[in-house]
Amino acid sequence: DDRDETPSVPGDLIVVSNRQPYSHEYDEDGNVVVDEPAGGLTAGLDPVMQRVHGTWIAWGDGEADREVTGEDDVVRMPPEEEAYDLKRIWLSDDEVEAYYYGYSNRVLWPLSHGGIWKTEYANRHWRRYQQVNGRFADAVVDAIGEDSVVWFQDYHFALAPRMVREDAPDALLTHFWHITWPGWDTFRACPQAEDLLDGLLANDVLGFHVERYCQNFLDCVDQAFEDAFVDYDDNRVQYEGHTTYVQAFPLGVDADGIAESASSADEESWRAFKQDRGIPEDSKVALGVDRLDYTKGIVERLKALEQFWKGRPERQGELTYVQKADESRSLIPEYQNLQTNVREAVERINERFGTDEWTPVIYIDDWLESDELNALYRYSDVMLVSALRDGMNLVAKEYVASQVDDDGVLILSDQTGAYEQLGEHSLVVNPHDTEGFARTIEEAMTMDAEERRERMSALRENVHEEDLNAWMADVFAAAEEAGEERDDADGQ
Ligand code: F6P
């Protein structure tokens, strides 16, 4: 199956992302150390970049980065192979505040997830967002050659494609939007709606996780621009003499790599983990792993667990919930509130049901050794994914890929992109339906081994089939096709 191979790229690849693949830090002795990509897309793209010797443009952060990078702002990465150029864009504190925390994460993030009440329409963020997009676009224009394929990642760069297009009209531009795209009724609340759409329509290919987000985007374009021709069947927009293909590419995980890591965990380390954390040996374990974000539905999940234990006293002690939480975007008040709300919910539940022998919720917000994390993913009996809205949700896929024994149960919110692919074989919940959610946890607790195996093996097949490499291959194939269509049209 050639979809398992590292995908081929139709040109010289230039990747643009907010986060960099490698960051440099100082250790305790003041020596520079390299932080390797932890996982996900960055770790998956890195080998592709090493193979094709491309250029990766990203936000450079901190003193050690500066020291290593030198004056031309470029460092060859990874250190030993020196395979590709990492071009670092240095941002001032003001730029970070307005472009990253401000417009990206206090406007576009909540807006894209449908939360217009959490969205702050501060026009002062806008100017910096434009400026920083301009700085990234300049770096792209500097790096671009005749055979370049530019690949923008995410909502940090809605304007950069238009800016690049102005200087490099023939460039092949691809963009993947990693979060949901809302309906027009939500998107129209944004004062910069038209500028954002205009920026994105400079791309040749614009990708979203699922078809619904594509249709939402097409509808937004249709409503915003009278002179745009929107083809809903072929997922195409013609606007200002340019065609943009809008396509669904459901992001996958490195399923083989994850399965291998999970297989390295053993029952011994799992028993040790349970003992260390005070989980009774015969208690089942439900797991949640989240960045501490208000879109993840963590408080709603805790309410469902509370309801579950309240309505089923016999289950107290029989199911323990482990919450692994990663702090995120903590300078933003909404995230601080969420952190407080989660902590309070955990404390309330543990006070209400906890005994000398049993703590219902084990909350882990510090570093976990990889063997502990592997054991958690492999041996937890149930995974709870309850996002209120989520572009994809890769935690669900990581759990599935880790289920090498085919005996866990995935409970999955119907508000995630992952639901489109995994909904059929998971137990599906609406995270706001606390009572239904609690019943679903009971269903997972009592599901027999055969049904668990049937469901999980179907899920695993999907996650291996539609993995990260397959996803990249599909994106690159679409870029190649768009380039060919354009060449054909030019030739006519
Ligand atoms: O889901 C969108 C996303 O940007 C991911 O690509 C990333 O892993 C996550 O959010 C983390 O966000 P941040 O870079 O703001 O810490």
Q: pLDDT tens across 406-453, in order?
A: 999 999 999 999 999 999 999 999 999 999 999 999 999 999 999 999
How long is the chain? 492
Split at pLDDT 50, 70, 90, the class of 304 is very high
- Confidence at residue 491, expressed as pLDDT on a 0 to 100 scale: 76
Mean pLDDT of 458-472: 97
Inform me whether the pLDDT recorded for 374 exceeds 50: yes
Q: Considering the entire predicted model, what is its pTM? A: 0.97
Q: 154 CB less than 6 Å from ligand 1?
A: yes
Strand pairing partners for 252? none
pLDDT of residue 39: 76
Among protein residues, the one with the nearest Cα to ligand 1's atom 15 is 329
Atom of ligand 1 nearest to the CA of 392: 1
Distance 467 CA to ligand 1 centre (A): 19
pLDDT band for position 307 (cuts 50, 70, 90): very high
**18 C-alpha to center of ligand 1: Å?**
9
Kindly report the protein residue whose alpha carbon is nearest to atom 12 of ligand 1: 328
Predicted confidence band of residue 221 (pLDDT cuts 50, 70, 90): very high
387 lines ligand 1 (CB under 6 A): no
Answer whether 329 contacts ligand 1 (Cβ < 6 A).
Answer: yes
Mutate to test the pocket of ligand 1, among 104, 154, 292, 393 (most ligand atoms within 8 A of CB): 154
Q: What does the pLDDT read at residue 143?
A: 97
Regarding the beta carbon of 178 and ligand 1, being less than 6 Å apart is answered yes
Residues 351 and 359: their CA atoms lie apart, in Å, by: 9
CB distance 425 to ligand 1 below 6 Å: no
What is the Cα–Cα distance from 448 to 440, expressed in whole angstroms?
A: 14
With a 6 A CB cut-off, is 179 part of the ligand 1 pocket?
Answer: yes
Euclidean distance between CA atoms 480 and 475, whole angstroms: 9
pLDDT at 5: 65
What pLDDT is stored for residue 2 in this prediction?
43
**Residue ID of nearest Cα to ligand 1 atom 6:** 178
**How many angstroms is it from 134 CA to the middle of ligand 1?**
21
Region 371-388 average pLDDT: 97
Q: Which residue has the higher pLDDT, 96 or 4?
A: 96
pLDDT of residue 1: 43
User: Residue 267 C-alpha to ligand 1 middle, in angstroms?
Assistant: 32
CB 191 within 8 A of CB 107: no
Nearest ligand 1 atom to alpha carbon 156: 4
Using CA of residue 399, residue 405, residue 410, residue 416, what is the dihedral sign? positive
Counting from 1 in the atom list of ligand 1, the atom nearest the Cα of 391 is 1
Confidence at residue 389, expressed as pLDDT on a 0 to 100 scale: 98
| CA atoms of 44 and 50, how far apart (whole Å) | 11
pLDDT of amino acid 72: 82
Among protein residues, the one with the nearest Cα to ligand 1's atom 8 is 40
**Top-confidence residue, 121 or 22:** 22
pLDDT digits (tens, 9 = 90+) for 228-240: 999 999 999 999 9
Ligand 1 atom, smallest distance to 19 CA: 14
250 Cα–ligand 1 center, Å:
16
Q: Is 328 in the pocket of ligand 1 (CB under 6 A)?
A: yes
- Tell me, in angstroms, the distance from the centre of ligand 1 to residue 231's CA: 31
Instruction: Tell which one of 15, 16, 19 to mutate to probe ligand 1, the residue whose CB is within 8 A of the most ligand atoms.
Output: 19
pLDDT band with cut points at 50, 70 and 90 for residue 71: confident
Contact 236, 243 (CB under 8 A): yes
pLDDT digits (tens, 9 = 90+) for 140-149: 999 999 999 9
**Among the ranges given (33-37, 217-221, 397-401), the one the predictor scored with the smallest mean pLDDT:** 33-37
How many whole angstroms from 305 Cα to the centroid of ligand 1? Answer: 27
133: its two tokens: 């997009």
Identify which of 99, 79, 87, 193 has the alpha carbon closest to the alpha carbon of residue 140.
Answer: 87
Q: Is the pLDDT of residue 138 over 60?
A: yes
* pLDDT given at position 3: 44
ipTM of the complex: 0.95
